Every structure is written in structure tokens, then in C-alpha cells.
């Protein structure tokens, strides 16, 4: 792997140059408590220290709502919607979110490639950014706190800039034109700092070890009392799934126009926490109760993803941070598995 260094001042200049390649998105503070990936107009507004964005990066490749095609019954014609091929550059993506994007790839690219997702993903550039955890994070027990694939560049914090790992050919092409102007060689002191940063980060997590055996305990304790107790608090709002970086469920509806002749087929994010999600013909519901829906999410998120060799849940903490009922996902999982030591 190739490593280079960039100063803080040159990082701002590098972001300016990236804007010339495509649409640059980066973390911005949008309210007292919330951050989001926003289009960068002024590079000085980019936030380098944040814990999580309200919207997960997947929405750049798999939007919350998109028209798949339009139809006109008078002409018996379909007008397919082709996704834009404009370059989308995501700067400041944390390790957990990069792994979550790889879980999305495993569903939308590896099995039956989804042309809408594929086009956007092929035109996406991912630039990672190191971070320190808060009390909601548990990416360490998911083994994804240090990512080794899925990024073009990865920026690791240094006192006076960043140590940059170059992950792909696209990453090389971003660095090459500015190698002499904006980048420098990495020094032993930089490596020393990176290593102490990693050690500091490991010590800050409130849970330790790895949770690889969690899914087996979940299967063995299907009737754990936690499910009834916690699902009674659940409002069924769907925040936990809509903010999750690895949730994939969608619904597709044909929406006719008022003229009765034209219309659109629309795909939009769905949530397994909605009652309608398990509803099928004949008014039968596969997940009739809140408890059924609650159990479904816990098992889905903790199932094994072959592509990343860990669970679909990457431990980003969003589902707890944004839950209006203050349901503690990490703590509840620990209760099922019988893990002790922090939550």
C-alpha cells in the first residue's frame, strides 16, 4: 500500500481540487446534535471530528426515493430512468460506514446487480477518515474499527495534518497530480503518532473483545424476556432502520397520475419496524406484533455477512442515538449474549 502525508492547510486545498472532479460531499454540523454529509460549498465548513451522520452514506448510491421508470398507457411505452453518471466524492467516511457500504455491495452488486446502484457506485469515490468513539460506538467488537478495503483514500489524523493510505487505482490518480505540490513523505514520527492514536482509540471503547458468537446466543435465546420488555417501548417509527448504514429493505409502488394514463414506478426505503412491512395479500401479516418486528431486526442485523466476514451491523450506534424511545441496542445485545463489562 502507498502512504503519503498532507498538511492541514493542504487538505483544504485538496478538497477544493476534488470539487473540480465531481460533487464533493463531506460531514457538516447541521444542528446542535446532528451531523450530515452535505455538498461542500465552502471547504472551511467541513467537520473533521464527528461521531456519526444522521443519514448513512448508502443514500448516495441507493437514494431514499427514486423513480425506476415512467409509463404512458396511450403509447404503451416505458421511459426508463437512467441514474446520473456524475462523480460523487464522499470525504470523511468512517471505517464502520465503509464496511457497511461493502455489505450493501454484497446485496446490490454480487448477486443480481442492481443497475441503478451499480452506476452510482461505479461513479463514487470514497475517502475515509479516522475517528475516536463515543459511548454509542461498538465497531471494535464487530472487528471493523480499522478498515482495509472499500476506500480510495483513507485519512488518518496527525497533529499537523493527515497520514493518507492509498487504497485503489482511483486513489493513486487523486494523489498523483498533486504529489509534489500538496503531499509529502511520511516520517517515523507520523507513524508513531498513528500507532498511539490507534491505541488511544482502542482504549476508549466501552465494550471490548469480539462478538462473533453473538448470533449463536441469539438463536439459542429466541424467547429472551428482553424482546417483550423493550419492544413495548418501541414507537415503530423506523428511525433505527432508516439511519442504519446497512439496511436494504425497500418497497416498490406504481403511482398513477391524475390523468389516469401516465404514472411512475417508484422505489423507496422501507422499514421492518413498520406494520405494513410484513403485510401480504389476504391481510395476512408475517410480523403481526411489535415484538415480532423487533426480533426480526435484531436477528437480521446480527446475521453473518460473507463479504465482510462479520455481522451486517457494523456498530455505528445510530439506531440507539436516533431512537426517540431511547432503546439501547448495544446494551440489549449484551443482555442476550450474557456479555459483561461496559455497555
Residues that bind ligand SF4 (CB under 6 A): 234-240, 243-246, 273, 301, 313-319, 323-325, 327, 329
User: Angle at CA 249, nearest 5°, toward 244 and 28?
Assistant: 30
Nearest-approach distance from CB 197 to ligand SF4, in angstroms: 23
Closer of 88 and 311 to ligand SF4 (Cβ): 311
Residue by residue, DSSP assigns 62-113 as S-SEEEEEEEETTTTEEEEPPPP---EEEEEE-HHHHHHHHHHHIIIIIIS-
Question: What are the counts of helices (DSSP H) followed by strands (DSSP E) for the chain?
Answer: 11, 16
Nearest-approach distance from CB 83 to ligand SF4, in angstroms: 25
Closer of 129 and 139 to ligand SF4 (Cβ): 139
Closer of 57 and 315 to ligand SF4 (Cβ): 315
Q: Tell me the CA distances in angstroms from 305 to 128, 142, 148, 249, one per residue in order.
A: 21, 11, 16, 16
Contact of 320 with 101, CB cutoff 8 Å: no
Residue by residue, DSSP assigns 294-333 as HHHHHHHHTSEETTTTEES-----HHHHT-TT---HHHHH
Closer of 150 and 245 to ligand SF4 (Cβ): 245
Closer of 89 and 101 to ligand SF4 (Cβ): 101
Residues with Cβ within 8 Å of 86's Cβ and at least 6 positions away in sequence, in order, are: 22, 23, 123
Within 13 Å of residue 199, how many CA atoms lie on the same side as its CB? Answer: 6
Nearest-approach distance from CB 338 to ligand SF4, in angstroms: 20
Residues with Cβ within 8 Å of 324's Cβ and at least 6 positions away in sequence, in order, are: 235, 237, 239
Nearest-approach distance from CB 103 to ligand SF4, in angstroms: 9
Nearest-approach distance from CB 133 to ligand SF4, in angstroms: 12
> Which residues does residue 80 pair with via DSSP β-bridges, in sequence order?
69
Closer of 173 and 229 to ligand SF4 (Cβ): 229
Closer of 236 and 278 to ligand SF4 (Cβ): 236
How far apart CA 34 and CA 14 sit, in angstroms, is: 26
Closer of 22 and 236 to ligand SF4 (Cβ): 236
How far apart CA 303 and CA 288 sit, in angstroms, is: 22
How far apart CA 245 and CA 314 sit, in angstroms, is: 8
Closer of 124 and 317 to ligand SF4 (Cβ): 317
Nearest-approach distance from CB 59 to ligand SF4, in angstroms: 14
Nearest-approach distance from CB 109 to ligand SF4, in angstroms: 19
> What is the three-class DSSP state of 244?
coil
How far apart CA 110 and CA 305 sit, in angstroms, is: 12
Nearest-approach distance from CB 211 to ligand SF4, in angstroms: 11
Q: What are phi and psi of 88, to 5 degrees?
A: -115, 120
Nearest-approach distance from CB 119 to ligand SF4, in angstroms: 25
Amino acid at each position: 500500500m502507498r502512504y503519503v502525508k498532507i498538511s492541514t492547510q493542504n487538505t483544504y486545498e485538496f478538497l477544493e481540487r476534488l470539487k473540480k472532479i465531481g460533487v464533493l460531499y463531506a460531514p457538516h454540523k447541521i444542528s446542535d446534535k446532528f451531523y450530515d454529509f452535505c455538498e461542500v460549498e465552502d471547504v472551511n465548513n467541513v467537520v473533521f471530528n464527528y461521531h456519526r451522520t444522521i443519514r448513512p452514506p448508502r443514500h448516495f448510491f441507493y437514494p431514499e426515493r427514486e423513480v425506476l421508470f415512467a409509463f404512458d398507457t396511450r403509447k404503451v411505452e416505458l421511459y426508463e430512468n437512467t441514474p446520473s453518471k456524475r462523480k460523487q466524492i464522499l470525504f470523511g467516511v468512517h471505517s464502520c460506514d465503509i464496511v457497511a457500504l461493502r455489505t450493501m455491495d454484497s446485496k446490490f452488486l454480487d448477486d443480481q446487480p442492481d443497475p441503478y446502484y451499480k452506476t452510482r457506485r461505479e461513479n463514487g469515490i470514497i475517502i475515509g477518515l479516522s475517528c475516536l468513539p463515543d459511548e454509542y460506538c461498538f465497531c471494535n467488537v464487530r472487528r471493523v474499527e480499522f478498515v482495509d478495503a472499500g476506500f480510495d483514500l483513507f485519512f488518518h489524523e496527525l497533529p499537523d495534518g493527515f497520514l493518507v493510505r492509498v487504497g485503489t487505482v482511483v486513489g493513486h490518480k487523486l494523489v498523483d497530480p498533486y504529489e509534489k505540490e500538496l503531499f509529502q513523505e511520511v516520517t517515523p514520527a507520523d507513524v508513531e503518532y498513528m500507532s498511539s492514536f490507534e491505541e488511544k482509540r482502542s482504549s476508549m471503547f466501552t465494550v471490548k473483545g469480539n462478538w462473533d458468537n453473538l448470533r449463536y446466543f441469539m438463536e439459542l435465546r429466541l424467547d429472551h424476556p428482553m424482546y417483550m420488555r423493550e419492544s413495548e417501548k418501541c414507537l415503530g417509527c423506523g428511525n433505527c432502520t432508516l439511519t442504519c448504514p446497512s439496511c436494504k429493505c425497500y418497497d416498490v409502488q406504481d403511482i398513477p397520475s391524475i390523468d389516469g394514463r401516465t404514472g411512475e414506478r417508484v422505489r423507496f426505503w422501507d422499514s421492518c419496524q413498520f406494520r405494513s412491512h410484513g403485510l401480504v395479500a389476504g391481510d395476512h401479516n408475517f410480523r403481526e406484533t411489535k415484538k415480532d418486528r423487533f426480533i426480526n431486526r435484531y436477528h437480521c442485523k446480527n446475521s453473518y455477512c460473507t463479504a465482510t466476514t462479520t455481522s451486517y451491523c457494523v456498530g455505528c450506534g445510530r439506531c440507539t442515538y436516533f431512537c426517540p424511545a431511547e432503546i439501547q441496542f448495544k446494551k440489549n445485545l449484551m443482555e442476550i449474549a450474557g456479555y459483561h463489562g461496559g455497555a
